[in-house]
Structure 1
Amino acid sequence: MTRHARFPDLDGASVFVTGGGSGIGAAFTDGLMAQGAKVAFVQRSDGTAFCDAMERAHGTRPLFLPCDITDTPALQAAIAQAAAQHGDIDVLVNNAANDKRHSTMEVDEAFWDWSQAINLKSYFFAAQSVLPGMRKAGRGSIVNLSSISYMMGNAGYPAYTTANGGITALTRSLAREFGPDGIRVNALAPGWVFTEKQIALWATEEGVAAHLARQCLPRMLKPDEMVEPLLFLASEASRAMTGQAMAVDGGVVVSG
């Protein structure tokens, strides 16, 4: 467990994280629990061992709800169950994604629909599910995980980058629609973060060297380095910030 800056308003907050038991999502769950948040998360794979580790680290256990996020009714039911146990969701972290590599010419309709269902559709319906509770409370924070891959114009996964661009557009539209209700919606766009999956599947020596050469900070980014940006966006520390896409990538893309 890494020590992070404290965000007192997250203590006791009801937080829902998609894909919260592995990769960057696991770092998010750990970091949020260290703040005292009540965390529920969904994923397809068994999260029991991870929950055991979190209980040893924090003295409390996250609520793990097995769920395929492409099954919208199941996702909605999981959010309802989390709200029933922890209270209406204060913070939604739309994190789950799949960046399986593919070329344009090999994509068929089934793959396209599968990719959008994971990487974009689930974000919309998770947000739709938490918004009534946030409106009732007059506050709330939704953080949508995007990626700098679409900002860079990367080839190699066009369905995924299309969804990333859609996440930014969705973020802006929801921020505009629900700002009057006190609800903030922002996107967090990591660079290449070297999770176990990334290292195992795609981190070739040549590819890593080429990417690090693009970064102002020429080192491999770790999942834990995404936690404090997430905590900032989730908390009242960013209370005047909404509709934004914040890149945390070691200095590859720039805005402004």
Structure 2
Amino acid sequence: MNKPELFQARWNVRGLVICNLIPIALLCFWLWPVGNALCTAFDEWFFHLLNQPLATNSAWRHIWAVGSVRPFDLIVGIIMLCLLLRGDWVFKASEVRPAILGFVAILVLMVIIRTVFEKICDPLGLQHDSISIVLGDKAVHLSDYFPHLDKRLQIKDSSNQSFPGDHASVLLIWALFMSMFMRTAGQWLLVWALTFLFMMPRLVAGAHWGQDDYIGAVFLSLLGLGWGYFTPFAAVASSWLLRLTEPLFRLARHVPLVRRMSVISG
């Protein structure tokens, strides 16, 4: 099978350098005491702006309670997957399969980078509690308002290891990956609007500081994109995955309805 045209089996030095310099610069700014103090001050202001209305506005409280439960992450994942799989939107029908396999490979690479980064964060003391834990009684805890919902579905409103933002890093790597191929303003608006919207529940509920996302998650997603997309990695990995999964897709072509999906028919 020919290599997918979406990915080039060569090094894009300019893109790789940019995707390394930006996260390194952000991390250095965050490690700088003055920069860290500015981030913390901004995050506390932003958190109070979003979090305090939970105590007085029932609609606001219910919206973010639903958005903060674990099963809602599954809904977010399905939406992301549907936009990836939709043929002739961002990707042509014939490009959907290599696109999804290439994205999976880049996502796995980012997870590996995150694991290595976590090993560095712990001994250096870069890890911290979520803002809801640090502020204590000054924060509105959704789990206090919805104890039964928290018991059944687990409301994500606190964390003992909130840096970097894992949830946000997945959303950002998805949006950045899609951005490499998007052609219209409508595509850009939808993808990035959904990304920021789905990042909000953790920030409103206090499971993450803002810096966990705009420093930590951006750091991981840009490194993942850089070393995955701007090197031969995506081309080689997606080609290998295409060959490996071809028998499965060949069988799926015989399943009614399923065979009509772009990822199958393409």
TM-score interval for Structure 1 and Structure 2 normalised by the shorter chain: under 0.3
TM-score (norm 1): 0.24
Which one has a bigger Cα radius of gyration? 2
Q: Which is strand-richer, 1 or 2?
A: 1
Instruction: Compare relative contact order (CA 8 Å, sep 6+) and give the higher one, 1 or 2.
Output: 2
Q: Which is helix-richer, 1 or 2?
A: 2
